[in-house]
Structure 1
Amino acid sequence: MYGCLLSDTQSPPSMDGPLPAVEIFHFQDKVHSSSLLLQLNTLRQRSILTDVLLCSENAEISCHRNVLVSSSPYFKAMFCNNFIESQQAKVSLKGISFSILRNIVDYVYTGLVTISMEIVLPLMQAASMLQYGRLFEACSSFLQEQLSPDNCLSMIRLSDIMNCTSLRDKAKEVALKNFSDVSLSEDLCELSLAELMGYLEDDSLCAEEEQVFEMLVAWIHHNPLSRRGAISDLFKKVRLRYVHPTYLFQFIANDPLIQSSTLCTEIIDSVRRLLFSVNTTLIKDTTVDFKTLWVTPRRYTYNDTLVVVGGRKNNVQTSREALIFDEKAQKWQRLAMLPVRLYKASYVSLHSVLYVIGGMVMNSKSREVSKTVYTLSLKTNQWWRVTAMPEPRFAQQSVSYLHFIFVLGGFGADGRLLASVERYNSMFNQWESMAAMPEAVLHPAVAALNQRIYVFGGEDAMQSPVRMIQVYHIARNTWFRMENRTVKNVSAPAVVLDKKIYIIGGYTRRTIAYDTEANHFTKCASLKERRMHHSATVLNNQIYITGGRYVNGHDAIEDSDTFECYDPKADAWTDKGNLPHKLFDHGSLTLTCVSRSWAKS
């Protein structure tokens, strides 16, 4: 009737011939499961074929044992083994309220449940007890959606009580990512020493090292009698290499907790000797394993980012704009604008702070050579002033080394080309005069490496190229110079990468790398055009250049909005897109930020 019938006159197929094709149809009823659940739930609600009553708080719910057994290992063990419940018509479930039990039974028969903050905890506890894993994880997902810096530490404790790994992992991720805000909560002071150490050791901790120190001090002061002895162990978790020296020596070093610990004061003294000796050799004559502490890498949450500031925009006016490149979005965003328009200021970064030094103030009524120094931090995205230079100047060069900024040459207020050098000490916010350059030059390439500042080429007061390297020994405050025919750059930037100084362009297409130890130049991949008045910085072990001016095919000079990257391993340049506008005589710098607070300003 349902198969294929052969008639009396029809002979069977020959065994020697090919078999007939057999068609197979696999049918899947997509509504069968939901329909079955719907029918079972209707039977339960009418108490048809139910064979057990689940009881709680003197109330009962009729259920089918086979449905409960099929849905939970807990009920399977209860009803399919020789437990007393397998013979009982009524089973009492202690520790579960009737309303929660009803929610769970509705979930078993319908697959639906409504989770709210009022019921999530008892529902989660019941799901854990009755071994409804997916319902347990649904409660976890709901709690994860409620996570914030204010409650994440409490959620971690809850996840430990509930033995919920997914909630704990997510809550810890929120705590690490928002540790600056979490550190303000009272819950942080309730952490155990082991828990606190775990956070401080984590590379994913998103907080400035200054905040890390302030947080551990607050934790100790919450219970000083029992916690004071932990200061040395906690202090070694602060990555001192990335603490601003001013904060380290003026605040941390003078903190009573630090001064009460011999080990902490030894660590501070080691850092002080390292920085004040202007020497990159690690201190050895100490009982502290200072080398291990000093070379601790930055936390993963520290992000280097490229900032472009000032310069001449579209060859129309001097720009007040500061732009930051958002790598995630692959676009430029604007930071707070410079307070004034500055022509040929110098730009440098030190301790993740951007410095804009000197320049000529450009306004509609006058032109004035400035000695003002403006700073910008990505933490606040606000401009501030620090102590001004002793002498106003513009078109000068600036370079940072350790906690110093050196300002070299440029034009003075009277228009004379200067050979003088001034040094800014960021620890004490003070300027001092240093030994002058042997020869005053304009627009040289400048870089600092191994206690020395190298000044390559440039041009003299008569605008003639200077084929010379002037070298300043920082610790000795002395200069010497070396004639070199390879040097012929004017208005070219220089950067340090892998212990070499790279000079990019300068009215040429050349990129050359200078090995200071071997006193040897190596030619690298050339630029596409003859480039000058551009800027360069190092980001993620690659060299980025922005804007500038170039000589086109008709030997005319044009402004540029290019954004290019050089990979020294591949010895190749890559186009990275464009700046928002054409720009030259600007600054390109690498700043380190922990959060994207600048994006909220």
Structure 2
Amino acid sequence: MNERNYYYPSEVLLELNAMRDRAELTDVVLEVEGRSFPCHRAILASCSPYFRGMFTSGYVEAKQERVSIKDVSGVAMATILDYAYTGCLQTEPDQVQAVMSAARLLQVDFVGREAAGYMEDHLDVSNCADVLMYADMLGDSALVQASEDYVASSFHQVALQPSFLQLPLPLLQSLLNREDLMTSSSDNIVQTALRWIEFDKEERLQHLPELCRCLRRSFISSDQLVELESKCPPSDDKLVYSNSTTQRLGQVQTTMQIFLREGSSKHHSQQVALCYDPSTGELHALNMPNNLASFSVTATPDDKLYLAGGLSSITSQPIRQKAFYQYNHLPNTWEPRCDMGSPRVRCGLVYLKGYIYAIGGDDIKQTAERYDPSCDEWTPIPAIPQSISSELCAVTLDDCIYVISKEGCYCFSTTENKWNKMADMHKPQTCPQAVTYRGIIYSVDCNKDKGWTWVEMYKPTNCVWERSGLRTFNKVNLMKHKETMYLLSVIKNNDIWSQYGESAFKICIYQYQPETDFWVGLEDKGRLVPPIADWMGSRRGRVIACLSARMVPMFLGDEFDYEEFLTDDEDTSGSGNSVGGGSDNHLSDQEDSDEDTSGGGWESRSDDYDI
């Protein structure tokens, strides 16, 4: 007979752990910070080379009944003993560092690796400098690398943290020498070096010449050079700077338009969004999290991108997700952050004064919560007063968050921490999309399938909605680019055009004139939006956001293949051709001039009017 009891190892561990609890047949007691831990030497030696050496050598501890363990906290020892007797590792987040230190001392490799992995996965702006110093002290090269990478990817924000000023000189030099610092100006790097010196000027001023060798003179402003020279100790020679003429990664960021659409590409293993560079006319692939649809994305003023919620596409029954991600420009990937408190889909996601807010999109469509990037933590805020069953959008203005939905509009004051009912719109919007522009909120129904739809604007000064001067087509999107606001409208080409290989759809572009409340029709020759009319007009998913953010072209996907992506769509049969350049994607000066324009407020204009 040759049989095996697969439950036996776990049953033995379970019984040994019970014997430890009863102090039965234990043969050593570990004394740690005034706490006593009865244990079995054989168990300790089996999981820890440190204890195996202690108990099998000629050390005095080999014969002692009570052994004192130094440099280990009681909580950390309890955690490691629980692992030794159960195979399970459980600890509170604020104890991970202590557990990792104990695991390194006691040579419990699994615990050490898992603790390091946890810290790497939970790096944030507030802790990455501390983790970097800790990893450097332990000599954990992998964690040092991960921490330095995180600091580089968020350099501008991390450099303002108090813990950053505690960095030792070698670590600071290593960071300042990196090519991939995500900061838009070399002057920011200079100011960081000067803040580090001022933190302990008497001790650190002597290191100014060493730090200057990390600073690239060709990119430093004359004012900053004067300030650096004024700090130089009189006894030192003239400061010497780096002669590198390579821009840091953050300095090569360029403003791009990001077009997000529901649905995914059947022909791409990686789900992507379109990222367009108007300065070059190139369209890139922005990688998106796979197996996720109907998510929400927002961009911060410092060009950080956050993604929240969505529907899981790996199950037969779509499920709302608590998932929350932050975009990392360097590898073109989305990195998980702390999950939201509630699962959401198509929530209102906005940034306001250092925090990210997620509003609605849950089962009851009214709860809300706030995310603090500095500590990677969500906290609930008051719920919207009314249940919202339809789609909503959220925008920010001053200290408030404005939520627009078919059921009504509401305003959340972050200073008062409460919601107030706003005035109703002239016509409720089933799928609102809104932007703030020059202190006014503009909103449009972007899912209007037929007929005209109005842009409505809300002025907080008089607390009413007014119709802006435009009636436009179906499938519309508002977009801000630099200091201007535009409206994109997708219309279907006439059949006679389709016979000659033209695109099935075309994009009409209107530029807003705030002084006259007019929307001017423009002809775009590839300077504002890419020729993606068929993609935007497809029934298979709709554009859900047009964001503007400074991106790093070299780290995005290769220039996009229009033809391959458009084969996913089901309603491009009008032409069957890819959407490329050419006049077919340009708005003619008098397009649809026979339509009723009695509402006023819009006009066509030639491309002589610059975008």
Q: TM-score, normalised by structure 1?
A: 0.45
Structure exhibiting the larger radius of gyration computed from Cα positions: 1
Q: TM-score, normalised by structure 2?
A: 0.44
Relative contact order (C-alpha < 8 Å, sep 6+): which is higher? 2
